[in-house]
Structure 1
């Protein structure tokens, strides 16, 4: 059996942790990353310490973290076939209250983390003339909500959507596919972090009248990782969030 290798950032909780579980159970070798080493080790333990999973803590906004992830993947697993840029920060704040530090945080973690890690990994994909990069955006880029002001993180996520299309154009000839997953409201620790006590109360934002589960995002990521003819796309995993309203 020939295993492929995936690097997953932001893998210690929520969607990233579930992606690790899903890929590891579907014949992938996984390199997990998170800035919080304690949470990362706990996630690894929770997953049962699988032999095809390793982890490395580090701040993804710093290019050296991407370099370390690349080196570890190549040392332990010899290839890098898929990169999932899942790490990110997100929180609502009225536009007039946003300060420079807020903006810097979102651009550093969300955009620079995605940008630089991709920049580090793509040369390895060029060598094998094959690879898949999956970025995580948000449906809110195309579907703003008046009662949820989040201009600072959303501008960084919008940049990720644009980065996806440009990389897809630049490296399509090299058989490197680059796509975005734009989740709706997903059941994860992020909801509590941004002050949403009952995530299910937001079910009405989706035509399916429920929130999403982390596994459903992981399934979409696996599809994109294994598809050879999809690139430059934004896949909404959002229960109809962007195309209509339930009233």
Structure 2
């Protein structure tokens, strides 16, 4: 709150250039107007759909790949060079290639966001694959559980808390990358809305779009945390 008051004061006193940093009150009024007219609601819906779809695809792929690499060491060693080549690659660098195959819009945003958010999920699942220690796995073997039963009923549940932590990070990444991709190669969505507002010299709309991105990220995070609490209700921490 103090930061917002400082922003409002500095802008009103023209210490910050009002044409670049408008007062908070002007941004909030513009945000309310855009939401009331429905103009911004549609853009939020487009970005949310792309981010969630990318998160679903990328998160699943990252979890499966990471868990498989952790459970099957031979497979992990075979994949290591490929993974370490792809993992540091900036997702936005793939936009030109994606345009060739997917064109502009939904498919491209989903693919790029999915690529970006798959790696936090991969790292978390790889670490979680060893969450069930050797003692627990040996106990399961003594009780007669086969290899696949130990994977499904021992190692997978033990990995779940770490997997959910990685997926939560991946969700935030998916939102950020979806917006970035919209700025570069989409005719609509919050990213395109923010870029067009900047080019048109309309800072109130620009900051209203940025606030909408923050609200979208916070809303998706809250929904994920609620779902995680249900999924991990059996754990001692209760999914907190």
Normalised by the size of structure 1, how large is the TM-score? 0.24
Which structure: greater strand fraction? 1
Which structure: greater helix fraction? 2
Rg comparison, structure with higher value: 2
